[in-house]
Structure 1
Amino acid sequence: MCRWLAYSGSPIMLEELLYKPAHSLIDQSLHARMGAETTNGDGFGIGWYPDDHGGPDRVVEPAVFRGTGPAWSDQNLRELARCVRSPLFVAHIRASTGTAVQQTNCHPFRYERWLWLHNGSIRDYPKLKRDLVLAVDASLYPYITGSTDSELMFFLALTFGLRDDVPGAVERMAGFVETTAARHGVADPLQMTVAVSEGKRLWAFRYSSGHASRSLFFSTSVHALRALHPENPALRKASEETRIIVSEPLGDLPGAWNPVPESCYAVVQEGHDAIRRFSPRGGAE
Structure 2
Amino acid sequence: MCRHLAYLGPPLRLGEVLTAPPHSLLRQSWAPRRQRHGTVNADGFGVGWYADGDPVPGRYRRSGPVWADLPFADLTRVVRSTAFLAAVRDATEPGADGEAAAAPFAAGPWLFSHNGAVADWPRSVAPLAAALPAVELLALEARCDAALLWALALRRLRAGAEPGEALAATVSEVAAAAPASRLNLLLTDGSTITATAWGDSLWYLTGPGAPGGGTVVASEPYDDDPRWREVPDRTLVRAVRADVLLTPLKEPPT
**TM-score relative to the length of structure 1:** 0.81
Q: Distance in 1 between matches of 2:216 and 2:175?
A: 30
3-state SS, counterpart of residue 183 of structure 2: strand
| Inter-CA distance 99–203: structure 2 relative to 1 (3 Å threshold) | farther
Q: How does 1:75-224 map to 2 (within 5 A)?
A: 75-98=70-93, 100=95, 102-161=98-157, 163-181=160-178, 188-207=179-198, 213-222=199-208, 224=209
Q: How far apart are 1:154 and its partner, in Å? A: 1.1
2:229 counterpart of 1:269: no
Q: How far apart are 1:113 and its partner, in Å? A: 1.2
3-state SS, counterpart of residue 122 of structure 2: helix
3-state SS, counterpart of residue 69 of structure 1: coil
| Inter-CA distance 272–18: structure 2 relative to 1 (3 Å threshold) | closer
**TM-score relative to the length of structure 2:** 0.90
Q: Is the 8 A contact 1:4 1:91 kept in 2?
A: yes
**Alignment RMSD:** 2.0
Gaps of 5+ in 1: 182-187, 208-212, 226-234
Q: Is the 8 A contact 1:115 1:197 kept in 2?
A: yes
**2:7 match:** 7
Q: Distance in 1 between matches of 2:106 and 2:94?
A: 19
**1:31 match:** 31
Q: Is the 8 A contact 1:174 1:190 kept in 2?
A: no
Q: How far apart are 1:279 and its partner, in Å? A: 2.2
**2:45 match:** 44
Q: Is the 8 A contact 1:171 1:278 kept in 2?
A: yes
Q: Distance in 1 between matches of 2:138 and 2:170?
A: 19
Task: Judge which range, 195-204 or 116-125, deviates more.
Answer: 195-204
1:105-147 C-alpha deviation (Å, 9 max, x unpaired): 0011001111100100100012124322112244533321201
Q: Is the 8 A contact 1:153 1:173 kept in 2?
A: yes
3-state SS, counterpart of residue 205 of structure 1: strand
2:218 counterpart of 1:246: yes
Higher strand share: 2
Q: Distance in 1 between matches of 2:157 and 2:247?
A: 19
Out of 58, 73, 76, which is 2:68 matched to?
Answer: 73
| Inter-CA distance 202–272: structure 2 relative to 1 (3 Å threshold) | same
Look up the equivalent residue of 2:142 and give its one-letter code. Answer: G
Q: Is the 8 A contact 1:13 1:83 kept in 2?
A: yes
Q: Is the 8 A contact 1:4 1:93 kept in 2?
A: yes
Give the paired residue count. Answer: 250
| Inter-CA distance 180–214: structure 2 relative to 1 (3 Å threshold) | closer
Q: Distance in 1 between matches of 2:155 and 2:104?
A: 18
Q: Is the 8 A contact 1:201 1:268 kept in 2?
A: yes
Q: How far apart are 1:269 and its partner, in Å? A: 1.9
| Inter-CA distance 170–259: structure 2 relative to 1 (3 Å threshold) | same
Q: Distance in 2 between matches of 1:29 and 1:16?
A: 17
Q: Which has the larger radius of gyration?
A: 1
